[in-house]
Structure 1
């Protein structure tokens, strides 16, 4: 009689918890803090989307698109960054996400890159509007949808390759039981793929090129604003005559926030490109800080809009008042309707980028 017992290879890609200071940093930043910040970021970015959709100026279109991509970044903070760290602490989570991560990691990377290049587009738009003034409004409104569509398609085309990076493999644990582990595919192990696509192209497209462009544009915008009778006078004029999305100071602050929050990730990429070997714990902590700040950036744009735009504040408070009024009205419903509404609203709560 034939023996049909299946033989499994020994596990080679087990996901073990990080120990020492790096482990404590990972627990605090990624496991505990990041899901809360990501959830808040999703809510705040939906407010951004609703408010900027009401505005008709060109810059508001870029900020609406940026808020949409930031929703994806915040969701990736929960379902990619946090879940990847949780896998090391929970067998059940590990066995669920070992099948999900090969699909959702490329989506997280797509939204992260999309946020980067929409920020670059917003900076270009800010530079062009400050340089040309109100004369450029017609050109900007024509270019914006086309350029945004081109960027979305280009970023999607660049990241689609990464759906072939990882795979779930069944293997034998050293303690003599079978499980699924997340392993790189043959393509991901290719030296040419790692060196060119994951190395040079990624560093160029996600680190050096955006930072160089944004730095040049930021300095140029500041110089032009100072030439136009000072930044404060310019800000006051823009606030009185245009929507919040068209205020160059708002866009400038968004770009500056992006540069600050992404500096850690840039340093990690620079060290890797220069073959500068960091201690394992130091590298792990820097990666966690970089991922944490990326989600902070996707969340904090709301506070930039609130602090620098009176129009945005009024729109936000107006929406909050509407929500409160709608809740007060629902409180006066007949009991049967109120129970039905409560039933339909009862919903479950739900390595890195």
Structure 2
């Protein structure tokens, strides 16, 4: 979840990508190598790794080795991860790669600006979807662990699907103001001899208004993207951990060493949400730090870059947690790999 990609996204992305342009024009910058390594090398590698892992996760979840409700939520979470890392790669890596490998104007003044409205909208929509699907997962795990007798009454396949659709619709509607807040206009290219048409992103009258700049871009953004998800996830997962801890102590007293499959799934999701909460907290600190007059600080910019990379990593490594902790997932995953290896050997 990209922490800095709020309504100041264009300024910050240009701050990150402008070093590539400066370098190509003979103006050295101390950020050049660091930014290229982070966005031009590290992020593409992490995204590729995330694609492989998330696709394999979807295949395993399709085997229906766990309860349908949990499987639906996990598949929704995986697809939101795939959507997010795709948008993050397009927003963060593509401009720098195109500027470095082809031409700075193509990367920064054509691709990065011409496609900004669509890229920003889908990126922020996938980010919000990912966050609130985790909120739904937290609610599901809380009811399942702490009020198990009510779980089947509250959750059904239809309700779960409708709740996920509701999150997608809410995320899309919430981000519509980002579309009308900016406009794309033709502008001079940095290279006067360029053969391409260059563009720039400008704020519309609505985008420059107090309603958008302060109310929507700062306060509503902070509440919807940070405060609500963090509060719900933290407050629901604390009693879940307490319940599992008491259960573990009781199992030890009775001589039972192994947790149930339901507990394994819950532990997996708790770890995923704990990592999310940590990175989301860093994103919130970054947002506050940037908002209050420190946007020209190099330390702020580097914090932005670090948080961005952490968000991409977070959406790319969940399958490792599934394998490490989820016994049923690990078993199914191992069987799937063995079956494919045997099939290839037989051929």
TM-score (norm 1): 0.79
Deviation at 1:268, TM superposition (A): 0.9
In structure 2, C-alpha distance between the alignment counterparts of 1:167 and 1:232, rounded to whole Å: 61
In structure 2, C-alpha distance between the alignment counterparts of 1:119 and 1:227, rounded to whole Å: 24
What is the correspondence of 1:170-185 to structure 2 with a 5 Å cutoff?
A: 170-173=186-189, 176=192, 179-185=197-203
Aligned to 1:236: 258
Q: State whether structure 2 residue 40 is matched by structure 1 residue 31.
A: yes
Aligned to 1:118: 133
SS in 2 for 1:277: coil
Q: State whether structure 2 residue 302 is matched by structure 1 residue 319.
A: no
Aligned with residue 236 of structure 2, among 190, 198, 217 = 217
Q: State whether structure 2 residue 73 is matched by structure 1 residue 62.
A: yes
Flag structure 2 segments of 5+ consecutive residues without an equivalent: 1-13, 21-27
CA deviation string 1:156-203 (max 9, x = no partner): 111233233444322234764574133133133333211111111111
Number of residue pairs the alignment of both structures matches? 313
Aligned with residue 200 of structure 1, among 212, 215, 219 = 219
In structure 2, C-alpha distance between the alignment counterparts of 1:209 and 1:243, rounded to whole Å: 26
TM-score (norm 2): 0.80
Larger radius of gyration: 1
Deviation at 1:83, TM superposition (A): 2.2
Aligned with residue 294 of structure 2, among 270, 277, 290 = 277
The answer to whether the 8 Å contact 2:279/2:311 transfers is yes
In structure 2, C-alpha distance between the alignment counterparts of 1:164 and 1:232, rounded to whole Å: 57
Deviation at 1:303, TM superposition (A): 0.7
In structure 2, C-alpha distance between the alignment counterparts of 1:191 and 1:87, rounded to whole Å: 35
Aligned to 2:268: 250
SS in 1 for 2:18: coil
CA deviation string 1:238-287 (max 9, x = no partner): 22xx596xx211111111111123232111122245x2526521111111
In structure 2, C-alpha distance between the alignment counterparts of 1:77 and 1:195, rounded to whole Å: 25
The answer to whether the 8 Å contact 1:261/1:293 transfers is yes
In structure 1, C-alpha distance between the alignment counterparts of 2:146 and 2:234, rounded to whole Å: 17
What is the correspondence of 1:37-116 to structure 2 with a 5 Å cutoff?
A: 37-53=46-62, 54=64, 55-86=66-97, 89=100, 90-94=104-108, 95-116=110-131
Over aligned residue pairs, what C-alpha RMSD do you find? 2.7
Q: Decide whether aligned partners of structure 1 residues 102 and 278 sit closer, same or farther in structure 2, where only a CA change above 3 A counts.
A: closer
Q: Decide whether aligned partners of structure 1 residues 132 and 235 sit closer, same or farther in structure 2, where only a CA change above 3 A counts.
A: farther
